[in-house]
Amino acid sequence: MRDVGAFDALPEDLTDAGGGTDSLVRATADEPERAAEAALRPRRLDEFVGQRVVRDQLSLVLEAALGRGRAPDHVLLSGPPGLGKTTLAMIIAAELGTSLRVTSGPAIQHAGDLAAVLSSLEEGEVLFIDEIHRLARPAEELLYVAMEDFRVDVVVGKGAGASAIPLSLPPFTVVGATTRAGLLPAPLRDRFGFTGHLDFYADDELERVLVRSAGLLDVPLDADAAAEIASRSRGTPRIANRLLRRVRDWAQVRGDGHLHLPAARAALEVYEVDQRGLDRLDRAVLDALCRRFGGGPVGLTTLAVAVGEEPETVETVAEPFLVREGLVGRTPRGRVALAPAWEHLGLEVPLPGGTLFD
């Protein structure tokens, strides 16, 4: 089973990597959802919406390699969940007209597993290593050599009699994906000739993602409904596509099948996703911070007790987006509500130096 990495998120990591709830606005996805996503994945670079810089750079790398008839440099894709790393890896293979071999850091338990994968690669193939920051150290070391010298040392025998037989590999391209580029050891990072960092999408880009997806799902989506869904999608195509599917359900069951603005609003109200893309837990955290603790500072544990959740859930699931949005701040003395949090709850922003609740 795949682990989507919810619980190795550190407090300073703002990748919204939570997976602990079944909320509609978490950026991570489970297996059934990943299957639903497959149908919506862009297949070619020119279908890939947004990320103009990465797209331009990557298209140069790929075109140049195609022109030379050689495998391109290894590519590292980093960025928060749901922004298109896996999609880009598939596109890279498609653009090169080659096949994609898929594995992941956690799937490789021993260096030998990686050696087996590497030695079965064919010339020009793309090897996609998802969650590459989670590779075990011995596998990582084997990978350095393979990436740099296209060689893998196969160990035969055991103990003192063991010897390493170098096996040369045909040229291939590693595409690594990580939500935590900072955790990648420098020697591994240095083996990538190109690093693309994916950032959150602007609302108009998400609208284009939605229009494209609605076309593929064959559902009529109005422009203002697309804008409404986009603005609640936290800059993340995965969330946009997920909300689209839920709005489609609503339109089919309670509406007339048409995805217009009232349908989008009604559906998102049912699913408790508000105008800023906050869900119930997010709002509960804001509410506790502002109403119960006068805006803070309040410690994480106290805050978690107030909303009836584990501290870890509050910290890794709710907080990253609240911090990213400038609703909540972290201080050495605890969490504080920032002015937009009060405004979002329809409360008066307290004057600096005191609180309304003194």
Ligand X SMILES: Nc1ncnc2c1ncn2[C@@H]1O[C@H](COP(=O)(O)OP(=O)(O)OP(=O)(O)O)[C@@H](O)[C@H]1O
Minimum Å gap between C-beta 202 and ligand X is 12
Q: Say if residue 144 carries a ligand binding annotation.
A: no
CA 335 – CA 328 distance, rounded (Å)? 7
For ligand X, the closer CB: 49 or 285 = 49
CA 3 – CA 259 distance, rounded (Å)? 34
For Mg ion, the closer CB: 206 or 267 = 206
Minimum Å gap between C-beta 185 and ligand X is 20
Q: Say if residue 21 carries a ligand binding annotation.
A: no
Query: Is 158 an annotated catalytic residue?
Result: no
CA 79 – CA 322 distance, rounded (Å)? 18
108 interacts with, out of ligand X, Mg ion, none, CB within 5 to 8 A per kind = none
CA 127 – CA 176 distance, rounded (Å)? 8
Catalytic residue among 15, 26, 130, 316: 130
How far is residue 101 from each of residues 93, 104, 105, 138, measured CA to CA in Å?
9, 10, 14, 21
Q: What residues from 189 to 228 belong to the interface with ligand X (CB under 6 A)?
A: 209
Measured torsion, CA atoms of residues 112, 195, 198, 175, in degrees rounded to the nearest 10: -30
CA 9 – CA 164 distance, rounded (Å)? 37
Instruction: For residue 240, give the nearest of 259, 252, 227 by alpha carbon.
Output: 227
228 interacts with, out of Mg ion, ligand X, none, CB within 5 to 8 A per kind = none
Q: Say if residue 82 carries a ligand binding annotation.
A: yes
179 binds ligand X (CB under 6 A): yes
Query: Is 179 an annotated catalytic residue?
Result: yes
Q: Among the candidate windows 75-83, 284-292, 300-308, 316-324, which touches ligand X by CB under 6 A?
A: 75-83
Catalytic residue among 55, 134, 234, 238: 238
The binding site for Mg ion (CB under 5 A) comprises: 85-86
Which residues neighbour 33 within 8 Å (Cβ) at sequence distance 6 or greater?
A: 242
Q: Provide the 10 A C-beta neighbour count for residue 345.
A: 15
Minimum Å gap between C-beta 176 and ligand X is 12
E strands of 139-205, at which residues?
A: 151-156, 163-168, 173-178, 194-197
Instruction: For residue 139, give the nearest of 172, 106, 164 by alpha carbon.
Output: 106
Q: Which of 3, 8, 21, 41 contacts ligand X by CB under 6 A? A: 41
82 binds ligand X (CB under 6 A): yes
In the numeric block, the tokens 């602990």 are attached to 20
Q: Which of 81, 176, 255, 277 contacts ligand X by CB under 6 A? A: 81
258 binds ligand X (CB under 6 A): no
Query: Is 173 an annotated catalytic residue?
Result: no
Q: Which residues of 140-153 are buried (b: 16+ CB within 10 A; e: fewer)?
A: bbbbebbbeebebe
Q: Say if residue 299 carries a ligand binding annotation.
A: no
For ligand X, the closer CB: 37 or 288 = 37
Q: Say if residue 198 carries a ligand binding annotation.
A: no
CA 283 – CA 259 distance, rounded (Å)? 26
Minimum Å gap between C-beta 130 and Mg ion is 6
Minimum Å gap between C-beta 263 and ligand X is 22
Q: Among the candidate windows 38-46, 115-123, 182-190, 277-285, which touches ligand X by CB under 6 A?
A: 38-46
Minimum Å gap between C-beta 81 and Mg ion is 7
Region of residue 257 (phi > 0: left; psi between -120 and 50: alpha; otherwise: beta): left
Q: Which of 9, 24, 25, 49 contacts ligand X by CB under 6 A? A: 49
105 binds ligand X (CB under 6 A): no
For Mg ion, the closer CB: 108 or 328 = 108
Instruction: For residue 322, give the nearest of 18, 19, 84 by alpha carbon.
Output: 18
Residue ranges at the known binding site for ATP: 40-41, 82, 85-87, 148-150, 191, 201, 238
Residues designated as active site: 85-86, 130, 179, 238
